[in-house]
Homo-oligomer: A and B are copies of this chain.
Amino acid sequence: MAKDPQDQPVAALLAPDILELLEESPGDVAAETEELHPADLAAVAEQIPHDRVRALLSALPKERAADVLEYLDEELRAEFLEEIPTEQAAALVSQMTPDDRTDVLEEIDEAVAEEVVSELPAEARAETERLLQFEPDTAGGLMTTEFVSVSADVQVDEALEQVRALARSGRREATYNLYATDRDGRLAGVLSLRELLAAPPGAKISDVAWTDVVSVSPQADRQEVARTTANYDLIAVPVVSESGHIMGVVTVDDVIDVMEEVQTEDIQKLGGMEALDEPYTSIGFWAMIRKRGGWLTALFLGEMLTATAMGHFEGEIAHAVVLALFVPLIISSGGNSGSQATSLIIRALALREIHVEDWWKIALRELPSGLALGSLLGLVGVTRILLWQFTGWYDYGPHYRLVAATVGIALVGVVTFGTLAGSMLPFLLKRLGFDPASASAPFVATLVDVTGLVIYFTVALLILRGTLL
């Protein structure tokens, strides 16, 4: 999540002091900022001039600087790491947890990243190269490989001693949970640090660990990881290979980042565009135009069919210009009811409240919904026409009653169709293997616009034949 100066009053207050200290006695910066949360120190770094960021990070011990880097704005971090000597960058990222290290290396220039990796200590290098092979959006790409595992045969006090030794070593394992392994090294149980502390000292780990371990495969996509974490209220979810060996854990802070990313993408897709994949504030102008223009053109090409449909009814419009007046009202009502239904169904599918094979149940529910909503709007529409006619605000001609009936009945049809089409399209897309969120509201609106015109003019032909038409 991007830092907000307003949300970070601490940072805004501290920035001038820290800048001054950097100028006058850089040696004191580390001690003076020791108690600050690294996220706050990162926010300070984002508020001082760019050329001072390097001085600030150099004034901190390496491990602390690595902490701050983890919270720093992506762009600023990439800029900084590409600028400093490769060995320095390697020394810094080697202090990071393996998952954060991989993320950071994926952000920076590929050539620089390769050099940095080659400068890492052998063990960290091997681990980093292995993690870099996973797709960033999978459990493998999200996991950290530093977690605590103990043999299931070990006694509780011995396990506790192992945890304490690890904690003191300054390594940075995810220590919320202990993972117990069997003699073949396969994951055999899990217990929380709290449960370890509560366990009777003489017991074996296998006596106190939970053997029903919730886990994901390294290929699991990020949404599955998030869903598993949310469903089971986990702090960390273990990533387990087909052979049953634990390869790493995804921690809940990364799951929260995933949820935010997915939400941003969903909202952008619903808005009828490609996901930006970059903050609005940092994406380049033409990159953004491309992501918006592509979908906008696609929708435009679809919407051209409305001109074709209207062309078919040009004769009717010429005879009864009054019909044209209600075209925007009618097609937008179809579009609005369609986008309501689409948003509802997309979200219910994402939350797994409903499933692809339930499509007919939803259709059976949305059909009466559409009829009810269409009747509501039809009633309002008829009232509007009659009111305008009787008060003399507008004259819809001698056949105003038939015009009102046409609009009213067309609204029932268009809204019902919009609701049904809007609710079924996500199922269709999901069935075809696409992301239902791409059934964005504007896409439904375009579909419904064309059909809405056909419905409207067909109703008009039926009702007005012999009078206006």
Contact = CB atoms under 8 A, between A and B. Distances in A.
B351 A260 contact: yes
Contacts of A37: 210, 212, 214, 232
Contacts of A335: 332, 335, 442, 445
Contacts of A3: 231, 352
A257 interface: yes
Interface stretch (A119-127, A137-145, A303-311): A303-311
Contacts of A347: 263-264, 267-268, 280
A225 B276 CA distance: 26
A51 interface: no
Contacts of A344: 268, 271, 273, 276, 280
Contact of A296 (B260, B288, B306, B337): B337
A216 to B, nearest CB: 11
Contact of A7 (B227, B322, B354, B381): B227
A306 B332 contact: yes
A378 to B, nearest CB: 10
Interface string A327-345: 1110111011101101111
A243 interface: no
Given A212-B35, A373-B293, A267 B346 contact: yes
A240 to B, nearest CB: 15
A267 B1 contact: no
Nearest to A377: B300
5 contacts: A2-B351, A7-B352, A256-B259, A272-B339, A280-B347
Interface of A: 1-4, 6-7, 10, 35-37, 39-40, 71, 160, 163-164, 167-168, 175-176, 193-195, 197-198, 210-212, 214, 227, 229-235, 252-253, 255-257, 259-260, 263-264, 266-268, 270-273, 276, 279-281, 285, 288-289, 292-293, 295-297, 299-301, 303-304, 306-308, 310-311, 314, 317-318, 321-322, 324-329, 331-333, 335-337, 339-340, 342-348, 351-355, 365, 368-369, 372-373, 376-377, 380-381, 384, 394, 415, 441-442, 445-446, 449, 453
